[in-house]
Structure 1
Amino acid sequence: MKLQGKLLFNAMISLVASLALVAYIIVQLLQINSQNRTLVPDMLNVQQLSADLDQLSQSLDGYSFSMTESNKSEVTGHIATVEATLGQLTDSEDSSLDTPEQLNWLASIDEKFTELSEQSLQAIGSQNSPEAKRQAARIQGIQNDAYRLDVLTKQHYDAYTADLTASIQLTWQIALAGAAVLLIALSWFNARFARKLAQRIRTMKDAAVRIADGDLSLHLEKSTGRDELDELNNAFGVMVDNLRGIVRSIENSGGVLDRVAAELDGQNDKMQEIVSQVATSTEELAIGSQRIAEDLGHTVEVVDGMQRNFEVNLEETVQSSTATEEALNFVEHGEAVMREQLRITSVNRSAMAEVEQTVRELEHNAGRISLMTEHVAQIAKQTTLLSLNASIEAARAGEAGRGFAVVAGEVNKLADQSDSAAREIFTAVEEIAASMQRVKGSVGQSLDLFRQQEEASATTERSFGAISGKVRQIAGSVGKLSDDMEQSRRLSMQVQQAIENISAVTEQSAAGSEEITASTDEQKRSFEEIGGKVKELLQVREEMQRELNRFRLDA
């Protein structure tokens, strides 16, 4: 919990405890007030009942002397008033008339008044003046009971008032005692909280003083709380650890700086020696550069001759590559033509196969026709026999069978014609079968020829494929040779350019050698200045070490 939340929590505890004490007082007063709210109205209702009974007695006396409608209405109204007042006393759920004696008197009043009201209403209904007078006298007895109830109610009120006074005194005593206990508890709690808070702040103040004095050996325990002081304590611990690490890092860096300064001083001496050696080597380099320049001039002439030969060979290689590409195009064209020829042959062979299948189907159909023709011939023979039998029967019948004989003759003619047509069909079918056999033989020969043609075309296509592969291989080799020649030409040009660059660099090296000789003296002076700076750096390191000695890292 944050520090602000803890302070707010302490304040809320005091406020809640005070509110609880005030709420207790208010609840007690409300309970006292609720009891008083029922007792006083009941006492007033008892007194009102006595007054209403007195008025009812007077109205009955008045009616017994003068039985007018106005007096009758007045008696009826007073009876209703007494009934209402008595109903408030008997029907109230939170009535304060709860003692056995009060309830007995109240029941007696209710019973007597019920009887009196019935008889009084009968008397005024029958205009019986003596009876009305007698009922007025009976009211005195009810008033006596009401008086006794009033006395008991006042006694109960007096006892309640005494108890109320005692309850109020007890409530205030409890409130004062609670206030005292609450004040003591809150004072102790706040003092304890303030003491812990001050102790934590004092611990961090002492740590800050030690850090300001350069003492980094202290170790603050890590707090597990969540308020600002816990976070500040943890931050102090982290800060001390970081400062301790920084100081140690600076000390380590100082040691490294000492070693680097010593090494730098030694390297400075070595560099001065190297500079002297560089000056000597520079003079030798200038002489060697002049000799290299002379050799490079001769090399450039040789490379120029090689470059011209590479160009001639490259042109011839390009022409060979072009011729190879043309040959490859012709071979690919021939291969395409052979593939087309092979495709056409395959189509023709398929067509001939279909023709052979058709011939087989025609041969089968011709067989069926022969079979049906045989059936027709048999039917014609049977028809001839039937017509002969019909002629014999017609001859036996005489004149009656003459018409039948004519029909039989016509049937015989038709049978002869059918037999003649069947023989012609047999002859035509045999000729068709012979023709189909010849066609079948021709188709078989054509299929054999197509197979041979396909085999020859496939062989030719494979030959073209082999030729095409070889031509492509030759074209690839020529192309690769052309690429190699081109690459060689480019490399030759690069060699020539490199030689020219070397020649230029050699000339620049000769000029640079003179500049190096001139700058060697300047480098010597620079190294002397570096030595002076190293000494200044060592002095700064000593001053930094004196400042670091102010900090104490270990306990």
Structure 2
Amino acid sequence: MKTSKLHSIKSKLIVISLLLLTVPLISLGMISYNKSKESLDELGAANLENSVKMVIEMIDVLNKEVKKGNLPLEIAQEQVKVTILGEMNDDGSRTVHNKIGEYGYMFVLDDTGNQIAHPQLEGKNSWDSTDPNGVKSTQELIKKANEGGGLTYFEWPLPNNENKIEPKVTYSEKDPNWGWTINAGTYMMDFNKPAQKIFDTILMIIGCTLIIGILIIWVFANNLSKPIQVVTKQMEYLAEGDLSKEIVRIKKRDETGKLAAAMNYMQENLAGIITNVSSATEHITNQSEELMQSASEVKEGSIQIASTMQELASGTETQATSVSDLSSAIQTFSKDIEEANISGKYIQDSSKEVITITKEGSQLMNSSKDQMIKIDQIVQDAVQKVQDLDIHSQQISKLVGVIRDIADQTNLLALNAAIEAARAGEHGRGFAIVADEVRKLAEQVSESIQDISTIVTTIQDESSVVVQSLQSGYTEVKNGTSQIEATEEKFQDIEKAIMEMANNIKSVSEKLTSVSIKSQEMNTSIEDIAAISEESAAGIEETSASSQQTSASMEEVADSSNNLAELAENLNELVRQFKLPK
């Protein structure tokens, strides 16, 4: 069982201690910061008021000199402007020499909002100037001054960055001599800078205090929770049934030490109890198994005896019934044997006729074999003679080729002789006639040779066909001879089998005669067996009833033993869930 870290005692102690440490520190720091800020704001406001009053005092002194005629009014007023701001530049602005804070300065207004003295706006009217929050700043300043002086809060751009607007505070008071509204203003951030340093210091102190406090709290919480964690882990082992773990050793004398001691005592006692229970259940299981096995064996023996008795009873009854049927069957069987004996003699006579026919078939097969051998020899001679004819035809073809060549040469010589006779003129006319006759004779020879060549070619083709046919016939004759030889062997096998069958039939006929005699003797014995079987059936039924009663009793004992074994096994399963020390 795993506990979330956020729900542990250690985590809770750390969280509570941190809250107790952090909340007061933060509260004290915020109070100190706010008090410092308020004090700085009051100090800054007092500084603004003092600056304004000093200017009013200076105006009063200069105004007295003006009244005495020692100083012109314009020079006196310019002297005040130079004192609070500085000399005027060529562009009409004044460089502030006497700043109030980083960005603060003094300026002068009249009752209509004209800037009598200002770093950038001198000579301009700012009666309608409004800050982003809708505050009419100039009008508020004049109003406060007419009411006897006071502070006005509004937002105003920084002198060197008009895009950045910051909160500003200004003290205003009216000069009774010249009617000026003297203003001293600065930005709130100028007041709050020292407060920010104080705030940073407070944060640093809080951070250091928290770090030290967390370390102390961590050590304390760890020291307090570690023994509890050890005890919790040991309790988880015990909850899972693991009693084999060593006892927890915690030397503390507080509640955690007492808790560990109590848990160790519980673990030792529980281990002893489980060991005793395990031994007892094992003994019970063994005894119940032996009892159940014995009861089962007795039950099975009784069931087997009862079953055997029932089978014997049924068998004897059936036997008694069947014996009578068997007696009738034996009589019928004897008659069938006599008929079979007669049929066997008839088959024996028939088999002799079959043997005679088989011998005649075998002799015919021998004659066919001799005829096939003669045919084979004749076909071989015919093939050889046709092959010789083919050879002679080829020789004739060669002679025809020679004669054709001679005829061609004769024809060529006759042609040459005719040409020579023509050259000889009248003297060669007779020779030309002879040459022409020779040429005609050569042409006739050539044509005859062509016919002879065609005839010889035809003879060769026909002889090739005859050779192929004779070879095929020769192959078939060989196959026929082989088949006749195989058939002859089969006839010989058939003859042997039929002779063996005839001998067997003769033997069967003799045995059937013997069986007929024995069956009559068996019929007499079967009648005696029927009487004995009826007496055995009655005794077997009584034994079967006793065996059934014994089987029922043993079944009850076996069921009780089985239930006891199941209970012991269930208890054993529970005990096995515990892991005991070795």
- Shorter-chain TM band: 0.3 to 0.5
Question: If the length of structure 2 is used for normalisation, what is the TM-score?
Answer: 0.34
Question: If the length of structure 1 is used for normalisation, what is the TM-score?
Answer: 0.35
Relative contact order, higher structure (CA 8 A, sep 6+)? 1
Larger helix proportion of the pair: 1
Larger strand proportion of the pair: 2
